[in-house]
Amino acid sequence: MCEELGGEGDMLQDYIEAAGNTSLCSVETRSGCSDREVAYIDKMAAIPADDVQAQFDRILTMEGESMKPELKDWMLTRKKILQKLLVPVAVDEPEL
């Protein structure tokens, strides 16, 4: 599998992210993010939470639509970013 997914490009990373329904891109630190992802995170972080939720809801309605693979990948990437932005930041609470 490593030979099939290694070599040129980021095929192994893409496979892991797709299979695990996750992303290596951190919205907090921007580490592991492409320039396009960073620009989108910055754009979404600057708008109110209600607007971020509206964008997330819009993407959910687009999921079943037919589109080119590159557009579908970008849509799923945006969905993952928005999910991370919508999760409330955990407050450090003392353990009981």
Q: What is the pLDDT of residue 8?
A: 55
Q: Token digits for 47?
A: 């708008």
Q: What is the pLDDT of residue 44?
A: 94
Is the residue at 96 inside a domain? no
Q: Token digits for 83?
A: 């999910």
Is the residue at 56 inside a domain? yes
Residue range(s) defining the domain that contains residue 27: 2-86
Q: Token digits for 55?
A: 């964008």
Number of domains in the chain: 1
Is the residue at 11 inside a domain? yes
Q: What is the pLDDT of residue 24?
A: 82
Q: What is the pLDDT of residue 82?
A: 94
Q: What is the mean pLDDT of each run of 10 residues along the chain (96 residues)?
A: 56 62 81 94 93 94 91 92 81 56
Is the residue at 75 inside a domain? yes
H-type alpha helices, the chain: 2-5, 11-20, 35-45, 49-62, 69-86
